[in-house]
Structure 1
Amino acid sequence: MSKLLRPARLAATTVAGAASIASAVAAYRSRPRVEPIADAYRIGVNDAVPPQSITVPAKEHMHGPATRATMRRLGLTVAASQIAGLGLLALPNRPRLNALGAGLIGPGLGHLYAKRPIEALVAAASLPVSVSLFFATGNNVAPPLAWIGTALHASRRVEAGRVSTAAPLVASALIAGTYAVERRRRQKVLADQIEDAKGVNTYLSSVELPLRGKNLPEVTAAEELSAAELAMARRLVDVALQDPNDWSNYELIDQFRESAVRYTMTSSLRALQAMQYSRMPAFRGYLSEGQRQLIRKHQQPLVWKYWMWENLWGNLSTNPDPLIRQNIMLGGWLATPIGAYERITGDLQFSEPGALNFVVDSRRSYAYSFTSMLEALADQFETSPFGLVACEPNWVYTLCNTFGATGAYLHSKVHGSDLWDRIGPRYLQGFETEFVTPTGVNRNYLSVRTGFSGPLAAGSIDSLYQRAFAPHLADRAWALTRGAFYQDKDDRWRMMFSEKGSFDAGNYARTAAYGVGLLGGAMREAGDEHLAKAAFETLQENYEVYIDDRGWLTVDGVSSFAHGELGHAMMLRKANWLNLMTKGMPDHWRNGPLLEAVPYPDVMVGRAVSNDGKGLEMVLHPGGAGGRFEVDLGQLVPGSSYKVVGAADAAITAREDGTARLAVDVRGRTEIHVVPA
């Protein structure tokens, strides 16, 4: 009987080999391609953005063309391996090759063929473990190594006369059935999403859009900082001014995922910039110095050397350059605060060649500027089939790319560069085609090697920055995010709260503060002040919020990253980022008098603004016991006299360089006006 079956088994192996080769060739040809940019996405930084509906456009597929091509390539690649495995399993009188083939069908099946069930369990478990590494760190080597490695191991564990072909064959049938079931499931999910989109669009078409016409405020300084906001400012500034290699007050859990210090630093940067633009555009001092310190701190090896490992196991590359390829989770997140710093202060030092230098050792270092950092990103945007760039090997995150695109927008506004033209259209087209689902919510991340994506979210934090160049995306996200709020029986606005479903990205704890910061900030930017307050009330009702003995606003059990996002939401005011990005600093702010420096921490600034480009208004607070101090003014008219109200000096005369020093008594809230005499 075995002699009769031998030709059939050899024929099966031949057919399987041919089918495997055909599947591999088809996989190679299924590579995603870079699509041409549609004219609708070619919007310059100084162009009026054409009005677009925030309703969700009809989609025929669950995924965009690049994602579908990637999933097709993955399916064909796996099929090639499994068909080859079936061919090897069919070979007569070749038990080791049979075991190898069974292992190629699926991890653990080779060991089942060899009748080693315990080893089969271990081999099968290696796949989810390796996939977890793949998801968590971009380790692209782990899954194929686990799959092929266990198959090779099984081929060495076969004993003559002790094999079982049944288990691998049954498993193969189950795998084939799983493919068919999954295909039908996806078709049903798409049909359900298309149906759900009708209800979503009914809601979206009824929403009154924010920040339009008379509802878009002019660029003005808001009210002075409250006591809680001053305490949050104290916290953010104290940490920002720590020594470059001082990592106290940071969570040092890992540098690969959300708790990495780079995210904590950039959240603090955005908080400081929101405070400067909305409350004290005429103040530099410790506020600008803290920003410079945090930007420079990104050069510390702790911040960026994780990339050496990720690039090694994800791209099989030993190049430690942290910005030349992928890693927009460093360059993108940093681009937005550098751009905002330049937009607010006019200080372009980070655009100078070599302003940022990443030193590997005595022989190797990588010097960048804000400009060259974005140019490296632009090269990748222009060649990405997904429109967006990978944060780490394999994984594209929408938020990292939103920050990269925002940085390019700000650079083009400040420098008149073409970086937005190179990055923006690719980002916009990729975001809409690959990352927006048929129901209008966004995929937070996507695997460029598998097409897998998730989780789904409205995109509230993206909306803060997208409104300048893609208001329809921002307003759709804002409208969907409002679903997190409701009115109770007393018509009081509340935020939905569940600690079980909460997540603090900075310490991986189940606390809601991080989410409160994101939602509160999105609502405040859009002008929904009542919803922002509801978010903060949720925080106060469920957590201990207090000012500690350092003068810091503190939420117990909450990470520094979450404190940064809370600070950002607290400092924001209506249209903060929209006005900063599109309008920047009005002439009377840019050219008017400045409060250049105060003796921090003895004196803190609650508000500083020049409303007419001639005078200066400021509110100062003691950082400690209070007393008489000297503060420095700048951008005064050289040689001109000024009248002072509220200070120890009643009058000052500007030096020839437009500076002056003013004596002030700060023993409580101190309001000072400086006006031309």
Structure 2
Amino acid sequence: MTGTPARRAIPADDSSKRDAAPFLRYYSMMQSYFQYRMRARYRQRQANALLVYAFLLTVTGALAMDSKVSPAVRPVLLGMTFPGAGFLHWASANQVMLASVLCGVGLSLFLVALLLWFATGNVIAPVLAWTGAALLANAPARFGLTATPSDTALPWLIGPAVLMACLFAWLIPGKQAGCTKPSAARCPAITREPIAIPDELSPEMMRRIRLLLDRALQPTRRFDGFEWRDQFQTAAVRYQVNFMAYTLALAQRRYAPAASCHFAEAQQHLLTKIGDRRMWGYWRLENTWGNLRFDGDPVRHQNIMYSGFTALQMAVGGASRLELHHRGKVQLSYGLDQIMALLDRQYRTSPYGLLACEPNWIYPLCNLITMAGVTAVDGRLGTDRWQQLAEPFLASLDREATRRDGSFIAFRSALTGIAPPAPGGIVMQAFPCLFLNALSPERAQEHWWRVRKRLDHGSWQRLFWPVDVGNYGFSRASSYAATAAAAVEMGDTAIAGECLRRLEIECPSREVDGVIHRERASLWAHALEMLARSGAPDGFRQLVERPAHEHGPRLISAPYPDVLVARAMCEGRGLKLVLHPGHGTSRPLLEFGGLIPDRHYRTGIDDQPFLKADAGGRALLRLQLVGRTSLSLEPVV
């Protein structure tokens, strides 16, 4: 007999099997659920944190009930069940209010310590705040309390109640249970409108980019025009240096790949600046209080907010070696491939598949920037590290750093697995697309679709955080600029244009001595704005995939700011240049390299129609600059 076999009926008298069936189904469902949830490393860390807290509550409770334990120790034991709870041991009669206030103060100090832990990686601060409040509760007289214990056990229920609440939150399905990737039908591709891409920098663009060049080309020990707020969070000067380098590399790639003069010198200066001890000295502190390691080397372990960001800077900027120096003396030196080998090993051995920025804090954005650096180094050195790391990295990104709705978390504690809610607004979802597009364009497109959906249906005033994270000032400059940069990369000209329009309204442009700036915008926001203005659809991805610099004729020296390069392109064996004077009329001396040795070149200039390359392929030309000046070097056959 064919077909579906008949289901065997449970005998009427087999009541035990009938009663067990619902339980078995429930048990099977729970096992499947736990197996799914425990795939993520952060779930295991959260479970471990809950177990540690439960163990702490059990031990303190047992000791408190032990008659052999001195009554003087019980406030300390109570204080170890919950931050500040030790003061409630004295909440008797007329001092309930004072004890409650002291408990609130202890809890507040603990919350401040948690904030310090997040901001600086200081894992010691929360432990000290919790245990310190517990120990201080043993000296009630210092705080105006009489040594009369409370006659209620309610304070001992705070810890178990918190544990049960956390356990309940851990058990129920939540937003952070891992990404459920939307189908292609739900994530249609963003329509990329045709963009008229100019082939040279406009006079306005040159005045804007001068803000970055002026700061990059100053003497390497000087940081005039940079914003010094702190070296631990988003306003750190190293990020200003990094993103200036990314922006100048993109601008050169798009408009002047054959001009190594200003751009190459700026990249070298920025690399020297990022190697200055003032840029990486923070790590000795963070490594000490975050990892309990007394090593000040910012490259060797974790800290991808320095090593990963700098690797990308080196790759797109054409550098091969990073020198960490202090007062003119080199203290450590790393080749680009050495940095990559360290990162490669750490990614392969990381339990999360992602690396920490701050000690034991994992940021998806930092990891995306680092992996963009890995990809760029592959393009520079011909290695294939990204191809080997891509699959596990992207799987880890989905599993450990993405919510069920597909949005990124801002950061996660590697120790506890917890991902606290974070401010920042829509930029926390939009900006990562700039770097994700260089790694996985399909995922970037899906992610940008969700961003675009929120922007189309939400209030921009609410979606964009009103704090410029580049200097902590009250403006949306960095949010608008970062979102515009990502929108340009994703080919969404409508969002990019609207972001730049709103940026101009909120932080109007000002021109001083031929340089355009925005008074309330951070330097980081300026760099991001120029990243948007210099970009094109997939422009950053192309820079990352093929960061190698062009060979052939090129402009290798020109005085800055007397000469501003608007265009420099190799065309066959020739060179096409468009130059502008920086200050009125000038007659600068230009130096060219990469020419055919001992060959004459036509210049297209009436008063100097020819120049001759020397045996090294170099040539000099003094040129009268009056407004926009076009120059074309073509070898004489």
TM-score category, normalised to shorter length:
0.7 to 0.9
- State the match for 1:406 in structure 2: 372
Q: Hey, what's the Cα distance between the residues in 1 that align with 2:388 and 2:139?
A: 53
Amino acid at match of 2:268: R
1:439 maps to 405
Task: Verify: 1:472 aligned to 2:439, yes or no.
Answer: no
Matches of 1:208 and 1:558, distance apart in 2: 29
In structure 2, the gaps of 5 or more residues are: 1-32, 92-97
Among 476, 480, 487, the residue aligned to 1:512 = 476
Offset at residue 607 of structure 1 (A): 0.9
Q: Which residue of 2 aligns with 1:190?
A: 174
The answer for the alignment partner of 2:40 in structure 1 is 65
Equivalent residue number for residue 649 of structure 1: 608
Shift of 1:472: 2.3
Cα shift at 1:331: 0.7
Aligned pairs for 1:202-221 (under 5 A) are 204-208=186-190
Deviation per residue, 1:123-173 (Å, 9 max, x gap): 23221121111111111011122222222332354899721152xx32343
97-106 or 284-293, which moves further after superposition?
A: 97-106
Amino acid at match of 1:164: S
**Matches of 1:78 and 1:621, distance apart in 2:** 67
Distance 1:323 1:177, change over 3 A: same
Percent of residue pairs identical:
26
Q: Is residue 495–residue 534 contact of structure 1 (8 Å, CA) maintained in 2?
A: no
Q: CA deviation at 1:473?
A: 2.2
1:294–1:160: structure 2 CA closer, same or farther, 3 Å change rule?
A: closer
Shift of 1:410: 1.7
The equivalent residue for 1:601 is: 561
TM-score by length of 1: 0.80
Could you say if the C-alpha distance between residues 120 and 257 of structure 1 is closer, same or farther in structure 2, counting changes exceeding 3 Å?
same
**Which whole-Å CA distance do the structure 2 matches of 1:665 and 1:583 have between them?**
35
Q: Take 1:264 and 1:326, find their aligned partners in 2: how far apart are those partners?
A: 20
1:230-256 Cα offsets, whole Å, 9 max, x none, are 012111111001222212211111101
The 8 Å contact of residues 580 and 629 in structure 2, kept in 1 or not, is answered as yes
In structure 1, the residue matched to 2:324 is: 357
- Which letter does structure 1 place at the counterpart of 2:397? F
Superposition deviation, residue 654 in structure 1: 1.8
Q: How far off its partner does 1:604 sit? A: 0.3
The residue correspondences of 1:478-627 to structure 2 (distance < 5 A) are 478-483=448-453, 485-486=455-456, 496-497=460-461, 501-549=465-513, 551-584=514-547, 590-611=550-571, 613-627=572-586
Q: What does 1:40-119 correspond to in 2, within 5 Å?
A: 65-92=40-67, 94-115=70-91, 117=99, 119=102
Q: How far does residue 184 in structure 1 lie from its aligned partner after superposition?
A: 4.4
Contact 1:99–1:155 (8 Å) recurs in 2: yes
- Which whole-Å CA distance do the structure 2 matches of 1:369 and 1:221 have between them? 36
1:609-631 Cα shifts (integer Å, max 9, x gaps): 113x2111111111002222221
Q: Distance in 2 between matches of 1:621 and 1:452?
A: 54
How far the C-alpha of 1:321 sits from its partner, in A, is 1.3
Give the AA of the match of 1:154: A
Residue 443 of structure 1 aligns to a residue in which SS? Answer: coil
Partner of 2:430: 460
d(CA) in 1 for partners of 2:49 and 2:241? 37
Establish whether residue 237 from structure 1 lines up as the match of residue 197 from structure 2: no
Contact in 2 for aligned 1:647/1:664 (Cα 8 Å): no
CA distance in 2, matches of 1:361, 1:98: 57
From 86, 101, 112, the counterpart of 1:129: 112
Indicate whether 1:378 and 2:348 are aligned: no
- Aligned partners of 1:149 and 1:157: how far apart in 2? 14
**CA distance in 2: counterparts of 1:160 and 1:627, whole angstroms:** 84
* Structure-2 residue corresponding to 1:36: none
From 162, 170, 195, the equivalent of 2:148 is 162
- Output the amino acid matched with 2:399: T
Cα contact 2:568–2:575 (8 A) shared by 1: yes
TM-score of the two chains, using structure 2 as the length reference = 0.85
Task: Give the stretch that moved more between structures: 144-153 or 663-672.
Answer: 144-153
From 568, 587, 608, the counterpart of 1:628: 587
* Cα distance per residue 1:264-286 (max 9 Å; x no partner): 01111111011000111111001
Instruction: Report the Cα distance in structure 2 between the residues aligned to 1:397 and 1:360, rounded to whole angstroms.
Output: 32
AA of the residue aligned to 2:447: A
CA RMSD in angstroms comes to: 3.1
Contact kept in structure 2, 1:63 and 1:437, CA below 8 Å: no
Structure 1 residue 635: deviation in Å?
Answer: 1.2
Are the counterparts in 2 of residues 221 and 609 from structure 1 also a CA contact under 8 Å? no
**Is contact 1:335-1:370 (8 Å) kept?**
yes
Please report how far the alpha carbon of residue 439 of structure 1 lies from its aligned counterpart in structure 2 after TM superposition: 0.6
Deviation at 1:648, TM superposition (A): 4.2
Q: Could you list the per-position Cα deviations for residues 167-203 of structure 1 after superposition, in whole angstroms to 9, with x for gaps in the alignment?
A: xx32343443344445545666638999x979x6587
Q: Distance in 2 between matches of 1:500 and 1:420?
A: 33
The equivalent residue for 2:127 is: 144
Q: CA contact under 8 A between 2:437 and 2:490: conserved in structure 1? A: no
C-alpha separation between the residues in 2 aligned to 1:504 and 1:160? 49
Q: Does 1:250 align with 2:232?
A: no
Deviations 1:293-337 (A, max 9, x none): 001111212111111111111112221111111111111111111
Q: Deviations over 1:8-51 (max 9, x none)?
A: xxxxxxxxxxxxxxxxxxxxxxxxxxxxxxxxxxxxxxxxxxxx
Contact 2:90 2:148 in 1 (8 A): yes
CA contact (8 A) 2:604 2:631 kept: yes
Residues 527/109 of structure 1: CA separation in 2 closer, same or farther (3 Å cut): closer
What is the aligned length? 589
What CA distance in whole angstroms lies between the structure 1 residues aligned with 2:184 and 2:387? 34
Distance in 2 (CA, whole Å) between partners of 1:63 and 1:661 is: 67
Distance 2:197 2:591 in 1: 21
Partner of 2:414: 448
**Which residue of structure 2 aligns with residue 393 of structure 1?**
359
User: Equivalent of 1:336, from 312, 316, 320?
Assistant: 312
Determine the structure 2 residue equivalent to 1:674. Answer: 633
In the alignment, structure 1 segments of 5+ residues that lack a partner are 1-57, 343-347, 488-493
Of 252, 256, 276 in structure 2, the residue corresponding to residue 280 of structure 1 is 256
Separation in 1 of the partners of 2:454 and 2:207?
28
1-structure distance, mates of 2:79, 2:456? 53
Higher mean C-alpha deviation, range 461-470 or range 388-397 = 461-470
